Amino acid sequence: MHHLRVLRFRRHPSWRLLAAALATGLLVAAGTAGAAGDPAAKPASTCIACHTDVAKIKAEAANVPVPAGSGLQAGKG
């Protein structure tokens, strides 16, 4: 399965960048990929830091304006 993923990933446009990173050993330091299975190995990017932290995201969500809506748009087929 992992082999298949790697094969597919090779088709990704960032493959060249990844290959270069692997070659220079930067991948381990940056932790941008190849960390599947170990969340702790992921970099503390803004995205992950916020989107995995319930308290943080709740606090941010409180500042996001949500239109009230009429309630009529919920009709479904």
Residue 63: HSE in the Cβ half-sphere, 13 Å Cα cutoff:
4
Nearer to other proteins, 25 or 67 (CB): 67
- Assess 28 for contact with other proteins (CB under 8 A): no
- Assess 22 for contact with other proteins (CB under 8 A): no
Restricted to residues 56-75, the positions that interact with other proteins (CB under 8 A) are: 57-58, 60-61, 64, 66-70, 72-73, 75
Listed in order, strand segments (DSSP E) in 1-77 are: none
Find out whether 28 and 22 touch, Cβ atoms under 8 Å.
no
Total of chain residues touching other proteins, rule CB under 8 A: 40
Residue 29 Cβ vs other proteins, minimum distance, rounded to whole Å: 14
Cα separation, 18 vs 24, whole angstroms: 10
